[in-house]
Structure 1
Amino acid sequence: MAVDDELAMAAQLLLRDRFVLREEDPEGFFLVRRHERALREFFREKLGWTLLMNMRFYKLEKVPAAGAAYLGIEVLQGPEDYALLACTLAFLEEQDVDGQFLLSRLLEVLPGLYPADAPLAISWESYAWRRALIRVMKYLEAERLIRVVDDESEGFLSAGLSGGAPAGEALYEVTVLSRYFLRLFARNLRSYHDVMLLGETGEEGLDVRRRVYRQLLLAPVFYRTAATEEEFSYLRHQHREIDAKCQQWFGLSLELYDDAAMLVCEEPPSLFAELYPSARRGLHDIMLQFAAAWRARGDAAAHRDATRTELVALLTRLREAHGENWTKEYREMAPEALFSALLPELVNWGMAEEREDGLYRLLPALWRLAGGYEEKGEAS
């Protein structure tokens, strides 16, 4: 099937956004509607993903082939946050769409929904629990699952309960999106006895082709391991077709190496926001220099595991040599703090991993791009 610019843009829009809302983006909504059949068939065939349609929105159920840290919700800070999110979503399911509820009612209900065998029980006397709930509510608002009608929750956050009621009240409204935030499962959750089966989206299961496409489109880099030999065998035999499909539909080219595969773009497509090296410019500049400096040690040294002390020392030398070109935030950071800021970004982009023995492994994606400064201080 020939893929024109409109169809490709619609596919990229669905891949980028959780919801394509008619109210907020009517042009994008009707773009998807015009190509709904072709989009539905492509994503079902290649990835096993379902395209949901509602009179108010479209949603592509983007299910990964496997879990990974970078797939988490950045604003949530721990297991308790995720548990509160799940419990709040369960509460929202019991509310009418466009209906309203008070923060005080939510505070009453959540302890009963929270897992009884959890290590820590909910206590609204604890600032940490109050802060976690406010994080969840702000996230739900940002994702448009709720609307804030009236908000004085800062009083609850700072003072907790007063006479059994929150020191600061809030009024929220439930949106239709709250019914579709969690993806649909092929069968009852209690029937799953293997967490890996949660990737299934229908009776056909998750075959090797779908695992490959999912990894390429949702992961910054797809590594060859003992567990992914079947996928890399498929990639070697089908790389030309996969490359052609990804270029036609998403404007991305497949790069296949002995131990890694990734999708890259020569010209940044306007619809993709998460790009390296541009998403976080100041930190990404340092990552490019870090890659060049570590790689310059030679193959043997570059591919061995490193200690935190070694990596902090390298960042210290880079700051001494090039810090005047860095943004103020990172130029003024202590070396340890700089490493703490750099490490999560390296991990999220598949460029490093922290081992259980406390060492760090720098991965092939780090070497894909490297950079430095010209004598005048301009990045090269």
Structure 2
Amino acid sequence: MNEIEILLNRRWVLKSEDKELYYKVRDAVGELRKYSTDKLGCQIIDNSTLVKMEKIPVVPEPFMGIIQFSSKEEYVFLCILLMFLEDRDAQEQFILSQFTEYAASIMPGEITDWTVYTNRRRLIRVLRFAVEQGLISVTDGTDELFMDDAGGEVLYENTGASKYFMRNFPKDIMGYTSPDDFRESEWFDVDEDRGFARRHRVYKRLLFAPAMYREDGSDEDFEYLKNYRGRLIEDLEQMFECHVHIHRGSAYLLSGEDCRMGTVFPGNNSISDILLICFGEIRKKIEQKEWKISQDEMCVVDRIAFEALIKNVKKDFGAGFSKMYRDMPEGEFVENVIGEMERWMFIKMENETHQIKICPLTGKIQGSYPSDFIGGRDNEQ
């Protein structure tokens, strides 16, 4: 794995966790910064603590959240933790009750009622994430004590990395009034028509997400793809072991065998196999003209019809699934499959109209069982 892939794969490289890798990446920072600034418009931070590429997406997607979190309250606790650590030196220790008291003073009310088990569980999930990311480390004790009782204590140590966790904003965010302000802040005082701004958007959209769809951003981005197609493909395929596919309304960066940039689909897991079978069934619906494709390469179907297709997949091919998915209740199975499809940008939910938009990425890959598969429909799949 080359150094640019390392920075794209990780939040950061901490010296305290992997000194050899830290020096390997830091030694290459000069060339990395040149490429990152020119192509992506991403800042690289390097100091005695860490090396980090600030990866700010152009289009925020559902999968870009913290997968360990399942509630908005956990994001609140994370922000409070970052505020708490801001006033502490690196290697300074603190006990859990110091933080819970601080959190209650910042955000008084039900959210910080530590007698409530749900609040304690959410806080522990945040603290475990912070330990995993290298923001803090456990010096003594176990968080299971606090999970069982609000009086449980753990001794933590601040690593000093927390001050680099959040991005640097070009303006005072206290004046922001909506999520769109954060999305647009990167381009304040910048003429978006200028070539470098478009280049940054296109490279980011290709590298930071499974797919780039025309409808999600500026039409100028696809004009850039049209005008600089050859140069962009050559540049990306030389830098990474990948293939770039550009279509009328979508574009993709497909990883090669030796590419180690991010998580790939399909993974070596059962849910990927299930999705591949679903994509094959979706393709049949489209080829048989039951489901229509629009000019933007999208296919919009009623959610009930889409769920029925997934239920039929479980019914017809479930014998080949892992035990967990074979035994999973039908409703839960459908929600799991739809959630995974949305996470990988194969579909988009149209909740207001109770429809599902099937994206063209779905047509790029599919799977099937051997013709002699016993559980297959009419023994043909």
Q: Aligned match of 2:271 in 249, 273, 283?
A: 283
Partner of 2:127: 137
Find the counterpart in structure 2 of residue 340 from structure 1.
335
Q: Partners in 1 of 2:255 and 2:97 — Cα distance?
A: 49
Give the alignment's Cα RMSD to 1 decimal: 2.5
Distance in 1 separating the partners of 2:275 and 2:170: 41
Q: How far, CA to CA, are the matches of 2:258 and 2:303 in structure 1?
A: 33
Shift of 1:191: 5.0
Equivalent position of 1:123 in the other structure: 113
| Pair 1:196-2:183 in alignment | yes
TM-score normalised to structure 1 length: 0.88
Post-superposition shift, 1:227? 4.1
3-state SS, counterpart of residue 361 of structure 1: strand
Match of 2:315 among 320, 323, 335: 320
Q: For residues 204 and 125 of structure 1, do their structure 2 counterparts lie closer, same or farther at Cα, with a shift above 3 Å needed?
A: farther
The C-alpha deviation readout for 1:251-290, integer Å capped at 9, x for no partner, is: 2221111111110023252x33410011x52101110110
Structure 1 238/85 Cα, relative in aligned 2: closer, same or farther at 3 Å? Answer: same
Residue 163 of structure 1 is matched in structure 2 by none
Contact 1:312–1:339 (8 Å) recurs in 2: yes
Structure 1 residues 195 and 57: CA distance shift in structure 2, 3 A: closer
Q: Check whether the contact 1:130–1:157 (CA below 8 A) recurs between aligned residues.
A: yes
* Aligned position for 1:88: 81
Unaligned runs of 5+ in 2: 294-298
Within 2, Cα distance between the matches of 1:366 and 1:57? Answer: 38
Which one is further off, 88-97 or 146-155?
146-155
Number of the residue aligned with 2:230 = 240
Stretch deviating more after TM superposition (85-94 or 249-258)? 249-258
CA distance in 1, matches of 2:311, 2:236: 40
Q: 1:106-133 deviations in whole A, cap 9, x for unaligned?
A: 111112323x7x9x64322222211111
Mapped partners of 2:145, 2:20: distance in 1? 40
**Bigger mean CA offset, 250-259 vs 310-319:** 310-319
Distance 1:102 1:246, change over 3 A: same
Deviates more, 1:297-306 or 1:202-211: 202-211
Report the residue type matching 2:355 in the other structure. Answer: L
- Which residue of structure 1 aligns with residue 72 of structure 2? 79
| Other-structure match for 1:158 | 148
Contact 2:210 2:252 in 1 (8 A): yes
Read off the aligned partner of 2:54 and give its amino acid letter. Answer: E
Aligned partner of 2:281 in structure 1 is: 293
Unaligned 5+ segments in structure 1 are: 1-7, 161-165
The number of equivalent residue pairs is 362
- Could you report, residue by residue, the CA deviation over 1:220-246 in whole angstroms, capped at 9, with x for unpaired residues? 101012742111111111121111121
- Larger deviation: 282-291 or 360-369? 360-369
Contact 2:255 2:264 in 1 (8 A): no
Contact 1:291 1:367 in 2 (8 A): yes
| Offset at residue 219 of structure 1 (A) | 1.0
Residue matched to 1:5: none
Q: Give deviations 1:38-87, integer Å, cap 9, x for gaps.
A: 11011011111111111232111111113221110011112111111101
Q: How far apart are the structure 2 equivalents of 1:103 and 1:204?
A: 47
Specify which of 37, 48, 57 is matched with residue 55 of structure 1: 48
Deviation at 1:147, TM superposition (A): 0.4
Q: Deviations over 1:143-170 (max 9, x none)?
A: 111001123432332333xxxxx2x111
CA distance 1:203–1:98, change in 2 (3 Å): farther
Q: How many angstroms apart in 2 are the aligned matches of 1:55 and 1:127?
A: 39
What amino acid does structure 2 have at the position aligned with 1:353?
K
2:357 partner SS = strand
Q: In structure 1, the residue corresponding to 2:300 is in which secondary structure?
A: coil
- Using the TM superposition, give the Cα deviation of residue 138 of structure 1 relative to its aligned residue in structure 2, in angstroms: 0.6
Residues 58/81 of structure 1: CA separation in 2 closer, same or farther (3 Å cut): same
How far apart, in 2, do the equivalents of 1:112 and 1:375 lie? Answer: 64
Equivalence for 2:163: 179
- Report % sequence identity: 28
> Which residue in 2 is equivalent to 1:330?
325
Verify: 1:209 aligned to 2:199, yes or no: yes
Would you say 1:42 and 2:38 are equivalent positions? Answer: no
